[in-house]
Each structure stands twice: as C-alpha cells, then as structure tokens.
Amino acid sequence: MAELTDRQLSQYARQLILPQVDLEGQLKLQSTRVLIVGAGGLGVPLAQYLAAAGVGYLRLVDDDVIERSNLPRQVVFAESDIGQAKVGVLAARLQSNNSDVDLDPRLCRFEPDSASALLEGIHLVVDATDSAETRRLIDRTTFNLTLPWIMGAAVRTAGQWAIFDADRKFGCYHCLMADGSHDGAGGCAELGILGPVVGLVALQQALLAIKWCLGADLPWGRLQLLDAWTDEQTQISLMRRDDCPLCSDASR
Ligand SMILES: [Zn+2]
C-alpha cells in the first residue's frame, strides 16, 4: 500500500484525523481523476477545494478569458488576470496551493466533438457550466461510459445540485430535462447571481465529489434546491421516467 510523505501527512493533517478520511481515504482521493466542466463561478471554488483536499488529477475545461465581472464570484482571480484564459490562471493557482495535484487545463468547450477525448481516463465528472444543453451532453456521454456525474446550477439567489450514479439506477438528468423546453429564461449574465450563492452550490458539489471518492453514502436520486435568500432548502426525488430518452429500459 502506498504511503504518504511527511509533507503530505502535514498538509492533510486536519482531514486525515477524520475517521471518514484516514490514510486510506487520502490515498483514494489521490488516485481519483476528476473532470471539471467550466472554470467560472462554480468551477473555481470547486476546483480549489478538490485540489486542496488532494484529489490526484483535475482536468479543467473552459475556453473563456477572465473578465472584470467575474471577480465577485471567481475570487481566485485578480484584477491583473483580466484578459487571460481562466483555465491557465486557475491551474497555476491550484498548483501553488497543492504541488501534489496533477493539473490538466484544456482551453476548449465540452462539445460533441471534444467530449470523448475530455472524458478519457476520467472517474468522475462535475458540471460547472451555465448551460442545460451542456448538462444533457454530459449526461449522455457519461451514461454511455458508465460514469457518475455531479450537476450544479445557480442563478439569482437560488441554487440546485444532484449526483447521478454511473448506472442511472436513480434516474438521469434527461428524466428531469429531456429537451430544451424547460431550459429557462437565461443564465447569470441576464438574470444576475450573488457570489456566495454560487459558492454554496460549488462547495456542495465539492463535498459530493469528495464523499464519492471516499465511498460514502450519497443522496442518489435527489435534486437539492436552495433559496439562499429565504434560506429554504428542499429536495425533489428523481425517478427514472419510463419514457426517458436516455435511461429508460426501452431506450437502453
Ligand atoms: Zn433518465
């Protein structure tokens, strides 16, 4: 069994003493390869916490450059970073936090043409996009490869998140949003977003990802919804829809 170095024992000391993590869990984190789709309001805090926890490999996918209007949410970036590619700056900052992490920034979008290359060698996918269409593509492509994925979305003062199992025993994103008819009026650029709200959703996703790496019990089949303004939190049970175009028995 692999061992941790003295530096690693020191760096991860506070989480290593948790019985839920321990040496065995830390080694599991180190051996996990995660794809994060999007390096914006969700992707930045998510990547920071996964890298800092010692997740061994992070592939970061985004083709945007840093804009001034990103700074209230994407707090890893500085004013002097404006105009630079997000994935490059983010990877450098993550590496400076944790030299253990193998970082693989990809300056592109997750699209039908790029998806299979971006998913190669990946164990878990985390959606940090602002696009229901991209989520459906993540759902389809991970379903075909029997990979689990974690969705997250935030707009205005509300957020939602869910984890989908590799086999979609508890339903899939297509059971919720099979086509584009419920994609909503727009994203954060049109409707606005409060920084800590998207941060809350990102950290829920980070927790789910870490717990998945550690083999913990997870809230499969549940979409979690939060209104951060009223502090109301609700859950919707996901059910595999008999007529789901992706995961129903008829379409398998
Ligand atoms: Zn489904």
CATH code of the domain in which 66 resides? 3.40.50.720
User: Does the residue 21 lie in any domain?
Assistant: no
82 lies in a domain?
Answer: yes
What is the mean pLDDT of the segment spanning 188-212? 94
Q: Does residue 19 fall inside a structural domain?
A: no
Catalytic residue among 172, 188, 244, 247: 188
Give the tens place of pLDDT for each residue, 102-145.
999 999 999 999 999 999 999 999 999 999 999 999 999 999 99
Strand partners, 233: 226
Ligand 1 mean position, distance from CA 245 (Å): 7
Cα 44 to ligand 1 centroid, rounded to whole Å: 29
Give the residue from 127, 110, 140 showing the smallest Cα distance to 204. 127
| Alpha carbon of 155 to ligand 1 centroid (Å) | 24
Number of domains in the chain: 1
Tell me the pTM.
Answer: 0.96
pLDDT at 35 over 90: yes
- In the chain, which residue ranges form alpha helices assigned H by DSSP? 6-11, 13-16, 22-30, 43-53, 86-97, 115-119, 132-144, 173-176, 188-191, 195-214
Output the CA 212–ligand 1 centroid distance in Å: 21
Residues surrounding ion ligand 1 at CB below 5 Å: 172, 174-175, 244, 246-247
Q: What is the mean pLDDT of the chain?
A: 95
Q: What is the pLDDT of residue 105?
A: 98
Query: Which residue's structure tokens are 């991209």?
Result: 134
Q: Which amino acid is at 38?
A: G
Domain with 74, as residue range(s), is 32-251
18 belongs to a structural domain: no
Instruction: Indicate if 213 belongs to the active site.
Output: no
- Going from the Cα of 40 to the center of ligand 1, the distance in angstroms, rounded, reads 27
Mean pLDDT of 173-191: 76
- Is residue 238 one of the residues assigned to a domain? yes
Domain-embedded: residue 133: yes
pLDDT in tens, 47-75: 999 999 999 999 999 999 999 999 999 99
Does pLDDT of 1 surpass 70? no
Report the alpha-carbon distance of residue 220 to residue 56 in Å, rounded.
24
C-alpha 247 – ligand 1 centre gap (Å): 4
- Residue 211 C-alpha to ligand 1 middle, in angstroms? 23
| CA triple 146-167-218, angle to 5 deg | 110
Residue 26 lies in a domain: no
User: Beta 232-237 vs 124-127: how paired, if at all?
Assistant: unpaired
Identify whether 7 is part of a domain. no
